[in-house]
Amino acid sequence: MRAVIQRTTEAQVIVEGQIVGEIGRGLVVFLGIEEGDTVADLNYICDKVTGLRVFDDENEIPNLSVCDISGSVLLVSQFTLCADARKGKRPSYIKAARPEQAIPLYQAALARIGESVPVQHGVFQAMMQVRLVNDGPHTILLDSKKSF
């Protein structure tokens, strides 16, 4: 399971011209679910999302998590994070989990993160436009297999 996490001051997901998810200060999390991912992978990613200390404290040192600042999370499914672009020019998405595996894990991630902070989301398998202000910019890459 892979995630790209961006600290934001505001973000929204738009599907077919309608805002379906929107947050203020918090984290935008793009989540890629791979074949073979388990609840353990999910727990690793969700615990990192809610616990990452990427927000500044009173001394302007990033010591605070999204929970500490009463922020929100915007979770967006993104199978393209599972791409393998090492060979040729066209990425392969063969490692991305099929919907029957990915949807339950995505919904479990929404529930798990939602236990700690307010969470908004995109629409699984929809063509989405994501608008966000990357605060910093501050971007973190996570991989539950810890390959980077």
Q: Confirm whether 79 is a catalytic residue.
A: yes
| Crossing angle between the packed helical segments 99-114 and 39-51, to the nearest 10 degrees | 40
Contacts of 145 (CB under 8 A, 6+ apart): 1, 41
Q: Alpha-carbon distance 114 to 120, whole Å?
A: 9
41 in helix, strand or coil? helix
Among residues 9, 38, 80, 129, the one annotated as catalytic is: 80
Among residues 8, 50, 79, 120, the one annotated as catalytic is: 79
Q: Confirm whether 18 is a catalytic residue.
A: no
Residues pairing with 143 in the sheet? 2
Q: Is the bond into 137 cis (omega within 30 degrees of 0)?
A: yes
Among residues 8, 50, 78, 120, the one annotated as catalytic is: 78
Q: Are strands 72-77 and 26-32 parallel, antiparallel or unpaired?
A: parallel
- C-alpha angle with apex 145: 139 to 147, nearest 5 degrees? 65
Q: How far does Cα 83 stand from its chain's mean position?
A: 16
Q: Confirm whether 50 is a catalytic residue.
A: no
Active site residue ranges: 78-80
